[in-house]
Amino acid sequence: MQRTIITGTGSYIPSVIKKNSDFISNSFYTEDRGLIDRPQEEIVDKFKQITGIEERRYASDTITASDMAIQAAFLAIRDSGVDPETLDQIIVAHNYGDVLPHTTQTDNVPSLASRVKQGLGIKNPSCIPYDILFGCPGWLQGLIQGDLFCRAGAAKKCLVIGTETLSRVVDDHDRDSMIFSDGAGACVMEYKEAGDKHGILSTSTRSDCVEEAGYIYFGQSNAPDADADTRYIKMKGRKVYEYAIKYVPAAMKECLDKSGVGIHELKKIFIHQANEKMDEGIVRAFYNLYGAKAPRDIMPMCIHWLGNSSVATIPTLYDLVRRNKLTEHALKPGDVILFASVGAGMNINAVCYRY
């Protein structure tokens, strides 16, 4: 039996470390532009308790999202051992394109995928590069799309990348700005003979775009005297949390059930690193659907020191675990794992995979 197998991974972790203490000098305002009249240390400490984030990574001024994507892609290609000229597709997930430092203007022309193809020096005209805008689940959606192309006979090798420089579209006067970070993660997928031992077993996707479409959006700064023409990433945190807790566990269950794998056979869950408490709640609710209790070591986390880099969180986390960079977490051949993500749209997806 042929299946789509991840044969190589790579990630780019930016060099600039931004600690929670670096935000203490910020003045934070509410969505209604009222000053949050509490000690800054208290605001930052409460943020850490809720999200689990202690520090995050920002790209240096000389690095763009496409630069990071190229670096992560190079590592994934090297890890897989494939000739880059044999790639059929380059799929790049992001939300804001290349954003120059100290601006919030996005640059998407040419596509980031085209820039990656150029950066890798790939000349093959049959290697097709394109971008996906799907919110934080973008990298997983790229994985799902690449798998569909492979199973349809339209591709045999795909490079899937998630990259983002959210630090360049955050509002320094919004507490939510402390969540976001930068980074890139990539993988090479190959459609090949795998038997029952490896590869993508099943997928699921959900989208709700009526009331939910505006839960994460581009809006004005919270600061009352800010330029009204400049926009930043914004989110309705409570709405996002409630949506994720309600719908992500069901999407995960649908995916696992379609795979035919039992809940007790699941070894790891790689979930979008959005908010530690939210992720813990999602996993707990997922196991509750089976009348089971989540194992203590089921969910690797890197949000504490990398923050929320949107489309880059899952491929970066997966790469770190594959390379034995996280203590207490490892994978061995035959392990069944579940990828899951939720984000702007609102969109949800999950992938069940046998390592």
178-194 per-position pLDDT tens digit: 999 999 999 999 999 87
pLDDT band for position 226 (cuts 50, 70, 90): confident
* Boundary residue ending a domain (127, 160, 193): 193
Strand pairing category for 106-107 and 98-99: antiparallel
pLDDT band for position 105 (cuts 50, 70, 90): confident
* Boundary residue ending a domain (161, 193, 225): 193
This prediction's pTM:
0.95
Q: Does 142 share its domain with 283?
A: no
Q: Does 188 share its domain with 319?
A: no
How many angstroms separate the CA atoms of 183 and 17, rounded?
12
268-314 per-position pLDDT tens digit: 999 999 999 999 999 999 999 999 999 999 999 999 999 999 999 99
Q: Does 304 share its domain with 338?
A: yes
Instruction: Count how many domains the chain has.
Output: 2
Q: Does 14 share its domain with 128?
A: yes
**What is the overall mean pLDDT for the chain?**
95
Of the candidates 79, 352, 71, which has an alpha carbon nearest to the alpha carbon of residue 190? 79
Of the candidates 201, 159, 178, which has an alpha carbon nearest to the alpha carbon of residue 74? 159
Q: Does 209 share its domain with 179?
A: no
Q: Does 123 share its domain with 166?
A: yes
Contacts of 276 (CB under 8 A, 6+ apart): 50, 51, 52, 53, 301, 303, 304
142: pLDDT strictly greater than 90:
yes
pLDDT score of 312: 98
CA dihedral 273, 282, 247, 339 (to 10 degrees): 50
Asked whether the beta carbons of 159 and 75 are under 8 A apart, the reply is: no
pLDDT score of 103: 83
Q: Does 188 share its domain with 285?
A: no
Sheet with strand 266-271: strands edge to edge: 199-207, 347-354, 336-343, 266-271
pLDDT score of 285: 97
| Residue type at position 40 | Q
Q: Does 129 share its domain with 265?
A: no
pLDDT score of 40: 85
Mean pLDDT of 42-55: 92
* Boundary residue ending a domain (155, 173, 193): 193
Domain that holds residue 347: 199-354
CATH code, 296 = 3.40.47.10
Q: Does 176 share its domain with 301?
A: no
153: pLDDT strictly greater than 80:
yes
197-211 per-position pLDDT tens digit: 799 999 999 999 999
Q: Does 253 share its domain with 304?
A: yes
